[in-house]
Amino acid sequence: MRILMILPALTEATSPLFRPIKYSLFPPLGLATLAGYLPDSDEVRIVDEHVERFAPDDAELPDLVVIQVYITSARRSYELADWYRAHGVFVALGGLHVTSLPDEAAPHADAIFCGPGEDTWPAFLADFRRRAPRQRYTSKLRTLQGLPPIRRDLIQRHRYLVPNSIVVSRGCPHHCDFCYKDAFFEGGKSFYVQAVDDALAEIERLPGRHLYFLDDHLFGNRRFANALFDGMRGMGRVFQAASTVDAVLAPGLLEKAFEAGLRSLFVGFESVNAANLAEQRKRQNVGRDYAAVVRRIHDTGIMVNGSFVFGMDSDGPDVFDRTVAWAVERGIETATFHIMTPYPGTGLFRRIEAEGRIVHRDWDLYDTRHVVYRPRGMSPQQLEEGYWRAYRDFYSLGNLWRGAATKDRLGDRLRHLAYAGGWKKFERVWDALIRTRQVLHALPLLESALSSFGTRRPSAVHRAAAMAATDSPGIVSGAESAHSRRKLWI
């Protein structure tokens, strides 16, 4: 059997001007995981439109086309699905968007998949081979036990900066109103982990040193995380991952992650306004001292990638400058900013829709860069302009230096400048590397930057642990609140 698996490009990744590096970071791991269930006798191809041009060809049609659909790739996904179905090919659609809007996706497919596919994909394959596939498969059984090895041989490693991406869990133990994943895991367990030995075996199969854990919350199951980090110690790996502020403050866990090789941590701070966090059910952030969180991560020897969302109901026009000033003063190495986006299937979408504030359903614009609803505290124009200004200001040369100046040692300052500036000040260089298929050659530079950040002072770690042991009553300290009131420009 011939199977074609396609990850259509997100709308914002198709600019003819230049190719942002973030769309060439990770290979389509989900499709490669599904491919692991196929026998060696099947002919399988994975196409990722983020890194290669693709056009359907009727010269040699496959028996089955599988398409993974995100919200801003929905239009392209449906175009491909319709073309193949018109040429007599069986088309299966799955992914976040299909799960959140199955009735929209169904007319474009012969079969749709709702939720994760560990239980439904093998069932579908059995049905398909006996020519009795169902039109809809909905996940009920949630487990990562007994997964076949991921078909990494189908991934074109040279096209990605971070080919060694890995996922050892599914979902998240938290349920934030704006999170797209809640709809995806509805109807079953929303967070579950792989067997530690299986996760370590997958890590062992990966070449080189660098890893990127794509898990939504690698620290979400602390017993699993502790065992995983124990098993990774001594492997000589350097890795990046994501966690939450409450897990960062847990005694001992961050230090274990460091010893295992963690050097950069994505943390969803989301907002500097405490009222926003309660409103969005971001309870794991409520009452936490964000400054103590950053100090603890830095003192352990780990870089911070902070994530912030603009446009929540308690945000006013001053939120952009306040957020950038806070992040720069804390010495956060990199930051990602987002306009709050009410994804279909989320609690946020239901609330905003009930209030009559959804402006349109043009999914191409649901990319966290455009305003698709009526905000309360500012105009849509103010929100979009503030979002772009936050990126411009945070990564300005002056603020890159101010962030670097928060570090005590010259080497740490230079590393901060090189790492933070490398992502945003060399986009044309990244574009050239992507177009010439040389992006993987930049991986040693990334490994070097991450590895060199691992110098720490034991006394600083103990101080950080002591500070983290006590929860502060608010997100920012009194001094930081004064900065906010003055709307400081940094």
Assess if residue 154 is contained within a domain.
no
pTM: 0.88
Alpha helix segments (H runs only) across 371-426:
380-394, 397-404, 410-424
pLDDT band at 318 (very low <50, low <70, confident <90, very high): very high
462 lies in the same domain as 316: yes
Which of 204-208, 405-409, 475-479 has the least mean pLDDT?
A: 475-479
Predicted confidence (pLDDT) per residue in 350-368, tens digit: 999 999 999 999 999 999 9
Q: Phi then psi for 435, rounded to 5 degrees?
A: -65, -30
Q: What is the pLDDT of residue 405?
A: 95
Nearest to 303 by CA among 248, 251, 253, 252: 248
Percent of the chain whose predicted confidence (pLDDT) is above 70:
88
108 lies in the same domain as 165: no
Q: Show the tokens assigned to 48.
A: 């990722």
pLDDT band at 454 (very low <50, low <70, confident <90, very high): low
CA-CA distance, 465 to 249, in Å (whole number)? 8
Predicted confidence (pLDDT) per residue in 247-284, tens digit: 888 889 999 999 999 999 999 888 887 655 545 444 44
Query: What average pLDDT does the chain have?
Result: 87
Assess if residue 144 is contained within a domain.
no
CATH number at residue 66: 3.40.50.280
| Contact assessment for residue 478 and residue 387, using Cβ atoms and an 8 Å cutoff | no
Q: Which residue has the tokens 């105009």?
A: 379
Assess if residue 147 is contained within a domain.
no
Predicted confidence (pLDDT) per residue in 43-96, tens digit: 999 999 999 989 999 888 999 999 999 999 999 999 999 999 999 999 999 999
338 lies in the same domain as 369: yes
CA-CA distance, 439 to 50, in Å (whole number)? 13
Assess if residue 479 is contained within a domain.
yes
Range of the domain at 432: 161-483
Assess if residue 405 is contained within a domain.
yes
Assess if residue 155 is contained within a domain.
no
Assess if residue 342 is contained within a domain.
yes
CB atoms inside a 10 Å sphere around CB 354? 9
168 lies in the same domain as 134: no
Assess if residue 153 is contained within a domain.
no
CATH number at residue 471: 3.80.30.20
Predicted confidence (pLDDT) per residue in 137-193, tens digit: 999 999 999 889 999 999 999 999 999 999 999 988 777 776 777 778 777 788 899
87 lies in the same domain as 191: no
242 lies in the same domain as 281: yes
Number of structural domains (the chain) is: 2
Q: Give 64's contacts (C-beta < 8 A, 6+ positions apart).
A: 1, 2, 3, 4, 89, 90, 91, 92, 128
SS3 386: helix
Nearest to 460 by CA among 318, 254, 214, 225: 254
